[in-house]
Amino acid sequence: MSVNNKNILITGISGFVGSYIAKTLIDKGAKVYGILRRRADGAVPNNLKRLGIAREVHLLEGDLENISSLGSALSVSRPDIVFHLGAQSFVPRSFIDPLETMSGNCGGTANLLEAIRIKDMDPVVVFAGSSEEYGLVISSKDQYKRALEKYGTVFPEPQMIPEVPISEANPLRPMSPYAVSKVYGDFLMRNYWHSYGIKTVVSRAFNHEGAGRGIMFVTSVATSQVMKLKLGETDSITIGNVNAFRDWSHVSDIADGYMLLAENGKYGEVYNQGSMRTNSVLSYLLMSLAEAGYPVSKIETLKGDKVVEDPIASDTKEIFGISFEKTKVDDMMLRGNLEFTLEDGGIVAYADSKRIKIAFDPNRFRPAEVPILLSDTTKIENLGFNAKCSLKDVVNDQLNHYLSEMERKG
């Protein structure tokens, strides 16, 4: 199914992913509509301006928590495809105000599906689920033991260890209110296909980054501070849990995946989207330093008791049954040979003659952590998906974005 001359409706069009999908669709000749809450200042969202599509999208006033406004938007747009991306998507915020997250994410998804059902329309609906739905993924027997000590239980119990790479059949153990809201939407979307014949496809996209990612997200926290360091605006960096591992893709690859699911995804099915690699927050930060001109030759904790020479040296040794792009420090952490804690206080990174302090901020640690995400993308690859961007590509796109003083200030 070509999207040329098709009507497309996007919820969350002003967001990071929604704006990229809108541009991709416009470039393919689609007529793109987007639902947007009324703004008192009447300003056009920054993401649409930044991508140069502000005048090419048709913005419709609407609110996911108001089913009547959704019905009106559907009547105007008459969509062939709906990309449902609108949500409160910042995990830490969901811990602070879980009711807001549940109301908007769960209620909004239910309202959209009901509006489509009541209007008796027949679009393909692609839902933005999340890799956060998998939550507490078990990667080793030691990690399983630590999880039991911390939480007292792991449910469902793992049927095999390790549980990575993560396929669509992996157990769901959401570890935040945000993740729970996405599980709800995921199941509801598939139920509306089974119960009412609404053509739904669920994407569980793993972490996707690039220019324009919100300043509060960890990759932006890292790259914005690296550029401030480069430009003399700071002399140190503050970060949260450097042990967390994520499957980072470039947002353009994920946008292409959404197109593919709209065209070829099987209704009622779930598809992972990702890069099939996993890297630590620490590696992302150290790679950002290297790409900005600070090649890190050594790191050590402030106490000096944990030292790694040449931490971002490339490492391609197989782990979890696959080989992928990672660093020396990634490999050490994945094999359980290295872990950083709040008690370490932070890290010093040595780059030529420069000594860069990286402090650990306890406020950026989650109440319940997702330790590792690593996608198995076999299912979507069978539809023709191929992630094109390397991790270095992702890092550089974000660094270049923060050359702008306005973007660095958020």
Residue 16: how many other CB atoms lie within 10 Å:
20
pLDDT, one tens digit per residue, over 62-104 is 999 999 999 999 999 999 999 999 999 999 999 999 999 999 9
Does the structure show a pLDDT above 80 at 405? Answer: no
- In this structure, the answer to whether residues 195 and 309 fall within a common structural domain is no
pLDDT, one tens digit per residue, over 178-200 is 999 999 999 999 999 999 999 99
- In this structure, the answer to whether residues 21 and 45 fall within a common structural domain is yes
Whole-number pLDDT of residue 170: 98
Q: What is the mean pLDDT of residues 15-35?
A: 97
Considering the domain boundaries, does residue 253 fall inside one? no
Task: Report how many domains make up the chain.
Answer: 2
- In this structure, the answer to whether residues 238 and 346 fall within a common structural domain is yes
- In this structure, the answer to whether residues 92 and 228 fall within a common structural domain is no
Q: In which domain, by residue range, is 317 found?
A: 137-160+213-247+278-372+389-410
Q: What is the mean pLDDT of residues 340-345?
A: 94
Does the structure show a pLDDT above 80 at 406? Answer: no
- In this structure, the answer to whether residues 129 and 142 fall within a common structural domain is no
- In this structure, the answer to whether residues 120 and 217 fall within a common structural domain is no
Location of structure tokens 């549940």: 102
Q: What is the mean pLDDT of residues 378-394?
A: 97
- pLDDT above 70 covers a percentage of the chain that reads 99
Is-contact 255 20, C-beta < 8 A?
A: yes
Q: What is the mean pLDDT of residues 105-111?
A: 98
- In this structure, the answer to whether residues 153 and 300 fall within a common structural domain is yes
- In this structure, the answer to whether residues 199 and 339 fall within a common structural domain is no
- In this structure, the answer to whether residues 75 and 142 fall within a common structural domain is no
Whole-number pLDDT of residue 2: 85
Considering the domain boundaries, does residue 379 fall inside one? no
**Domain CATH number, residue 363:** 3.90.25.10
- In this structure, the answer to whether residues 78 and 145 fall within a common structural domain is no
Whole-number pLDDT of residue 1: 66
Residue 151: how many other CB atoms lie within 10 Å:
13
Sign of the C-alpha dihedral computed for residues 25, 107, 219 and 321 taken in this order: negative
Does the structure show a pLDDT above 90 at 38? Answer: no
Considering the domain boundaries, does residue 34 fall inside one? yes
Considering the domain boundaries, does residue 265 fall inside one? no
Q: How far is CA 265 from each of CA 73, 79, 262, 271, 272, rounded to the nearest angstrom?
A: 25, 17, 6, 8, 11
Q: What is the mean pLDDT of residues 208-214?
A: 95
pLDDT band at 354 (very low <50, low <70, confident <90, very high): very high
Whole-number pLDDT of residue 40: 58
Does the structure show a pLDDT above 90 at 37? Answer: no
3-class SS letters over 325-385: CEEHHHHHHHCCCCCCCHHHCEEEEEECCEEEEEEECHHHCCCCCCCECCECCHHHHCCCC
Whole-number pLDDT of residue 336: 96
The rounded distance, in Å, linking the Cα atoms of 340 and 346 is 8
Considering the domain boundaries, does residue 380 fall inside one? no
- In this structure, the answer to whether residues 57 and 149 fall within a common structural domain is no
- In this structure, the answer to whether residues 200 and 289 fall within a common structural domain is no
